[in-house]
Amino acid sequence: MNTTTKDIAKSRANTKTSVDTQAEISRGAIISINTVGAVIGLWAFASLVGGMVAAGGPVALVKAWFSAVTGM
């Protein structure tokens, strides 16, 4: 193997490592974003259920919401 062939092989190995690293970082970012979205969704659902319980049911919650929005 001459020097040029060694350099080409080394360059290919470095490129493969760089691509693998980028793929892992992207995968981690996607998992993190999805996890945060799921936690926010669960929090919103829990807040809605808590509001319904505090208002006395879904119909009472809607009436209270309209009352708060319209000021009546």
Which tens digits make up the pLDDT trace of 12-21?
Answer: 655 566 667 7
Give the tens place of pLDDT for each residue, 25-38: 888 899 999 999 99
Query: How confident is the model at residue 23, as a pLDDT?
Result: 77
pTM for the full model? 0.61
Average pLDDT, the chain: 84
Q: Which residues of 1-39 are buried (b: 16+ CB within 10 A; e: fewer)?
A: eeeeeeeeeeeeeeeeeeeeeeeeeeeeeeeeeeeeeee
